[in-house]
Amino acid sequence: MIAVYLALGVILAVIVDAQDSGPNGVGYPHNYTGIPSGDYSPEWQNYFQVIQPFPNVTWTLGRNWAGNIDVQRPGHPNNTLFFWAFEKTNGSLTAAAGENSDAPWGIWLNGGPGSSSLIGLLFENGPIHIGPDYSAYANNYSWNTLADYVWIDQPVGTGFSTVDEGAWVADEDQMGVDFFGFLENLVKVFPSLATRPLYITGESYCGTYIPYITKTYFGLQNPPVKLAKIAIGDGTIGSEEVFEMVPTVTTIETYPQLIGYDPEVYQYFKEQEHLCGYDLNFTYPQNGHFPTLNFTRGIVDGSYSSARKGNRLNGQSVLTTIADRYAASESKQLAKRDREMRRELWKAEKRDLSGRPNGTIDPWYGCYIHFELLDYAVNFSYPWSAGKDFDFYDIPDALSPEAPQDASIFLNDKTTRAAIHAPTSKDWVESINYNFTGGEDGNDPSEPMAFLTDLATNATDRHVSVVIFSGNDDSLVAHRGSEVVIQNTTFGGIQGFTRKPSTPWYDDAGSFAGIVHQERNWTYVLFQGAGHLVSAAQPAAAYTFLREFVLGSNQTGLVDSTSGSIVGGEVATLAGDYLPGGLEIFYGSGTTQSTYVAPSATIAAWEKFIQTADPITTAAGSGSSKKNAAGRAGFGIGSLMASFVVTITLLRCS
């Protein structure tokens, strides 16, 4: 699990998809015995093929290939990307040029920026998984059983990828150029990939990577591959306010355990949401763009305000900045007296709202209401208040400490390193603080908004489909933010979806897996019971999702443009702002889990309250939300790209 530990108002970050401080990625590829001379060609297949055994891998792996390939950056021969590819069936990846032209192949990317995609391979959707005891075991839901799949460490310097000193990517545009320089060489090694449909998938900071990669693709006269679809999971596509702050109340509604099922605290956060302008209204289709959010700072952000530029982060990885921000808000260990003082303030000001002035933004937190929610949870809401870890990427996980998730021992083992032709000039680390050479203090200077209209038009014209998926238990990059981004988008001449997403979908065992909605070449999928790492939490459902909605053309949730009917129907109880989370909060040490469930009377009282709670009147968005029978505002998303119009402030990719 990704763990971000919040204790007494302070977050100490251990983020898998963000960045840990650690060794930089400078290094050079290692030339192993048998390396061919000359340009890349099918002759390199024998060199890259993995034939040596791995430590603790006791089962038979399908054929796979790995190593470093040049990105063709002039003057920087050591700038390479590391790949590890597994074929679907014997010979499917090594087919000759022009063969298997209809067979899909996929790429998986992790985020960061600076996180290795081998995290995804070894803990999410690859054929080899590493357990908490560092043992290796087979993943029965590996994505390569559905298509030839390639996990790629990128940008240069990430994971086992290498980079010359000072030759990091300057920005995301250069990242895209490097990526296609790599792909041009990759298809020389595996020539059938040039004409087969490519599906680029990823999560988190890939909300930036994948749009930029797609932009680069559309700008090439003769791209080396044939892009068919992109899929972004729990992606920081919107601005920080959109993906982190706007969903706060929805997060509470999903997991009211965060506030101890307290109606007064809920009303307090509803008021803060309204005062900060986060209570955006949805219509179907959307009637006008959402307003620009005017962010209000509080006292708590003074130590890191320099990291912001205007109303957004100065290109820095949002995930890292958030962790830094929390750590900087107070000393790493609050004195007991200070903690008790804070606790009394919370009791006075948050639990007894009757004595608190109405209509004012909290001066301490300002509009950082997600941070305020987490601070409240660890001070007042059990089991987090008992000193348990808070994983804001997976709300119900309060394990303390987390079960180890460490691939470094396996990957840095000499046997593994030699088998996958990894560089010997650097050790593998799951994440680095990526050093963009074009940004201030190494931050990512890229602004993805300017090209989205052209990107959308090109996607429609060139038949590239889009999938956005989210885990319902992710509180930091929550699904509500993705819905805002898409519903704020015009495609096919219509802004946003024309109907509320409310169609259920099921995994292969027939179990409810979440909500799906499809319109005009876009697909939105919400996973029940998954956090930030969807396929790690729900491998069976993620497998079905990949087969049916990414690689396949399952029409469940599709709006018929003629009749207006929806394949699979609509379920009124799924048409709210949120999908209720589970009742259990898991805690314990490592893999030893216990569960906490609030008393049934508490839960029943909350259910009665939330069904009749009156929302604070607002005009924050254009139009008004329609309620379902439970009194909850409806939620929506968006699809297809014909004319992709956006409100810039709301759509900062991260």
Confidence band of 559 (pLDDT split at 50, 70, 90):
very high
Categorize the per-residue pLDDT at 354 as very low, low, confident or very high, splitting at 50, 70 and 90: very low
What average pLDDT is seen over the chain? Answer: 83
10 contacts: CB under 8 Å, gap ≥ 6: 326, 327, 329, 330, 331, 332, 333, 334
- 3-class SS at 420? coil
- The full set of domains in the chain, from first to last, is 43-242+408-574 (3.40.50.1820)
pLDDT for res 328: 44
d(CA 310, CA 328): 20
Cα–Cα distance between 543 and 534 in angstroms, integer?
10
* pLDDT-derived band at 448, boundaries 50, 70, 90: low
166-213 tens-digit pLDDT: 999 999 999 999 999 999 999 999 999 999 999 999 999 998 899 999
Across residues 391-395, what is the average pLDDT?
Answer: 90
pLDDT higher at 510 or 346: 510
Q: Is the pLDDT of residue 2 over 50?
A: no
pLDDT band for 24, please (50, 70, 90 cuts). Answer: low
How high is the pLDDT of residue 622? 33
Q: Are 537 and 394 in contact (CB under 8 A)?
A: yes
Q: Are residues 83 and 47 in contact, defined by beta-carbon separation less than 8 angstroms?
A: no
Q: Which residues are paired to 495 by β-bridges?
A: 490
Helix (H) or strand (E) holding 202: strand 197-203
Residue 623 has pLDDT above 70, yes or no: no
| Distance in angstroms (rounded) separating the CA atoms of residues 392 and 273 | 19
DSSP character at residue 350: I
Residues for the chain: how many in total? Answer: 654
Query: Is pLDDT of 286 > 80?
Result: yes
Question: pTM for the whole thing?
Answer: 0.85
Q: 585-622 pLDDT, tens per residue?
A: 998 887 778 999 999 999 999 999 999 886 544 333 33
pLDDT bucket at 451, cuts 50 / 70 / 90? low
* Spatial separation of the C-alpha atoms in residues 5 and 62, rounded to whole Å: 38
